[in-house]
Structure 1
């Protein structure tokens, strides 16, 4: 799940290894996390340094053994514990209503059954919990959308199962969430790959 986050997006945007262009996204999204946090698709742990004092535990979920091994070595602030879950987002190994925040950054594009994963996220969130996200997906411009649909079959094969044409906001709403905040726009880079959805949602 962390493949797009760790590999594809930095290459597309011609970023350094520090992914400087992605830092503001990470700061805004991760900065809103509180309490017990489940992060979907931790990848190599690029988000861990951005968790702050409002967090008391982070549960990074990652199905890739190799990426999970890298995430174990990632640095993070003191003040909260980290317990890794090597599992799929479609079957989250947690009890119902046991986390305060779910974080997903550039992962919903690659989860095969994203609707199932979102239902699982809703299941583990407390009623007053929040889903924080930044994802890429279907663009509003017809010409860009046409390219996204055209490129998607080949792109999915070469980009670790990543899909270019998922309408992220609709997926979240149709999975039982109410959007509290949604901001969209293109990030620098090829438009079919860089239309961003950023925001927060609560279980309905």
Structure 2
């Protein structure tokens, strides 16, 4: 990993992904987590304040970036949750089949190199009666915005930690063997449109 990715990018991502409009989406999704929870792309621990410690038995925090884990240290130390670090990428979730009740995926699917493999892993570790809670940005339905997303993406990815602007999270989730149980989509306010189209909701094993 370069100096930029380990020491600068974590701060930029933490700042960007904790803007009020994004925190509002997190607050609408994360509190539904319960039981044994796997958060893929734990980052700097931005979601911790939204977990209900009464409902969450254990939180598996999957985060491959040392820089992000370092930045999350204070938030983890202050959290009442029982947290276990998993320092592997989403494509290699080191948990048993059908071993978690909830998977949380927030503003992470855009950056996972092999997102199809990662979603298949999430489906594998989720119990039959479990749920995937998600809030992700992605491809806009408006042709003009989508065109600019395609143009900007090659430049955007290297500076934004591999973030893809043109992925369609709901389609990827469905292709991985989930059924979308509920979803809201639309542009986040006060955000550049090329990165602001948001998909948020819950999915269950199909």
Tell me if TM exceeds 0.5: yes
Tell me the equivalent position of 2:100: 99
Structure 2: where are the runs of 5+ without partners? none
Tell me the equivalent position of 2:20: 20
Q: 1:9 to 1:167 in 2, by over 3 A?
A: farther
Q: Following superposition of structure 1 onto structure 2, how do residues 1-204 of structure 1 map, counting pairs within 5 Å?
A: 7-8=12-13, 10-11=15-16, 19-52=19-52, 53-75=54-76, 77-78=79-80, 80-188=81-189, 189-204=191-206
| Distance (whole Å) between structure 1 residues aligned to residue 88 and residue 97 of structure 2 | 16
Tell me by how many angstroms 1:191 deviates.
Answer: 0.4
Tell me by how many angstroms 1:110 deviates.
Answer: 0.3
Normalised TM-score (structure 2)? 0.89
| Distance (whole Å) between structure 2 residues aligned to residue 4 and residue 185 of structure 1 | 27
Tell me by how many angstroms 1:5 deviates.
Answer: 8.9
Q: Residue by residue, what CA displacement relative to the aligned partner does 1:96-120 show, whole Å, maximum 9, x if unpaired?
A: 0000000011000000000000000
- SS in structure 2 of the partner of residue 73 of structure 1: helix
Tell me by how many angstroms 1:19 deviates.
Answer: 2.9
Give aligned pairs, total: 197
Tell me by how many angstroms 1:9 deviates.
Answer: 7.9
Normalised TM-score (structure 1)? 0.90
- SS in structure 2 of the partner of residue 84 of structure 1: strand
Structure 1: where are the runs of 5+ without partners? none
Instruction: Please say if residues 6 and 43 of structure 1, whose CA atoms lie closer than 8 Å, have aligned partners that are also in contact.
Output: no
Instruction: Please say if residues 63 and 88 of structure 2, whose CA atoms lie closer than 8 Å, have aligned partners that are also in contact.
Output: yes
Runs of 4+ in 1 over 4 A off after TM superposition: 3-6, 8-11
RMSD of the alignment, in Å?
2.1
